[in-house]
């Protein structure tokens, strides 16, 4: 049996129908204050792009540098490409992501992978075995 998604005791369909001001009251304090201050011009342009894709007017992939945008219910189900400082990471927006920031899902740092010691390395590092 599939468990129905609930956010603060509201289903996804109810959340999609609520205005942003009412949705803000369901979010945590940081996101609530961010919405209360209003969206930046970049965030407004991003929301406009999301709405055009939801209405079926546009089929281009959604790319954004706007990592500080809060995931809203109208974004659920979309594939968004978020810039991580070097390239765009594709992220499918799930209902559990509502209230989080887009930047949380496109990591900016990668794990460092070292190889064998380089030219001019000290004698002690030459003894390190390469696996």
Q: What is the pLDDT of residue 125?
A: 57
The secondary structure of residue 120, as a DSSP letter, is: T
**Is residue 131 assigned to a domain?**
no
pLDDT in tens, 76-107: 999 999 999 999 999 999 999 999 999 999 99
Asked, for residue 122, whether it belongs to a domain, the answer is: no
Report helix, strand or coil for 54. helix
**Is 26 inside any structural domain?**
yes
Q: Are 74 and 6 in contact (CB under 8 A)?
A: no
Q: Looking at the predicted structure, is the pLDDT value of residue 118 above 60?
A: yes
Arithmetic mean of pLDDT over the chain? 89
Residues in Cβ contact with 11 at an 8 Å cutoff, skipping those fewer than 6 apart: 4, 5
Using CA atoms, how far apart are residues 85 and 68, in angstroms rounded to an integer? 14
Task: Say how many domains are in the chain.
Answer: 1
Residue 79's domain is classified under what CATH number? 3.30.860.10
- Cα Rg of the chain, angstroms: 21
Q: How many whole angstroms separate alpha carbon 104 and alpha carbon 120?
A: 40
- 41: number of CA atoms within 13 Å, CB side? 0
Cα distance between residue 42 and residue 53, in whole Å = 17
pTM here? 0.80
CB atoms within 10 A of CB 92: 11
**128 domain-assigned:** no
Residue 26: alpha-carbon gap to chain centroid? 19
Domain range holding 30? 6-107
3-class state of residue 35 by DSSP: helix
Is residue 116 a part of any domain in this protein?
no
């Amino acid at each position: 049996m599939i468990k129905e998604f609930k956010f603060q005791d509201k289903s996804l369909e109810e959340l999609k129908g609520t205005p942003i001001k009412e949705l803000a009251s369901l979010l945590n304090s940081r996101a609530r204050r961010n919405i209360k201050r209003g969206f930046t011009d970049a965030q407004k342009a991003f929301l406009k792009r999301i709405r055009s894709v939801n209405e079926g007017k546009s089929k281009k992939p959604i790319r954004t540098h706007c990592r500080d945008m809060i995931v809203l219910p109208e974004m659920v189900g979309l594939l968004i490409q978020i810039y991580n400082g070097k390239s765009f990471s594709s992220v499918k927006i799930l209902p559990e992501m509502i209230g989080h920031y887009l930047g949380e899902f496109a990591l900016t740092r990668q794990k460092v992978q070292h190889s064998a010691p380089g030219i001019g390395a000290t004698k002690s590092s030459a003894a390190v075995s390469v696996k």
